[in-house]
């Protein structure tokens, strides 16, 4: 069973996908030993039909105005490891106001741009 959060009362079988809008990129540097990149996001409510559904053709639609977590406390869980995320973009659905179709993108390549403080 998969849970959307520690307070989720409706577990689902299988994988749980989350969709959201990127708000901030944070890099944690642990004394130059290693670095971790986090994405801070506003997450759509994918627990029920308020914020997540599939259409007749199998496309995933999300309503990013229906958020799963609101507030500024740590319990709202706004962060995800960059390594655990996938690139998508949203196309507004002209037939259903507020809903967007999720389009998954396969990156051409990934690049390490290096440390910007080193010249």
Chain segment 43-71, per-residue pLDDT in tens: 898 887 888 999 999 999 999 888 887 66
CA–CA gap between residue 43 and residue 16 (Å, rounded): 13
Are 61 and 52 a contacting pair, CB within 8 Å? yes
The pLDDT, as a whole number, for residue 117 is: 67
Distance of CA 66 to the CA centre of its chain: 13
C-alpha distances in angstroms, 11 versus 4, 17, 47, 52, 105? 7, 13, 9, 15, 28
Say how far residue 31 (Cα) sits from the centre of its chain: 28
Considering the chain, what percentage of its residues have pLDDT values greater than 90?
Answer: 38
């Amino acid at each position: 069973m998969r849970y959307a959060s520690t307070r989720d009362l409706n577990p689902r079988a299988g994988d749980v996908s989350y969709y959201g809008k990127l708000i901030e990129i944070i890099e944690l540097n642990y004394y130059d030993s290693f670095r971790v990149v986090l994405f801070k996001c506003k997450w759509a409510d994918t627990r029920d039909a308020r914020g997540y559904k599939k259409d007749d053709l199998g496309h995933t639609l999300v309503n990013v105005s229906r958020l799963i977590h609101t507030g500024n406390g740590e319990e709202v869980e706004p962060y995800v490891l960059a390594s655990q995320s996938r690139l998508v973009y949203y196309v507004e659905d002209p037939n259903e106001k507020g809903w967007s179709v999720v389009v998954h993108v396969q990156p051409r390549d990934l690049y390490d741009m290096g440390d910007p403080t080193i010249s």
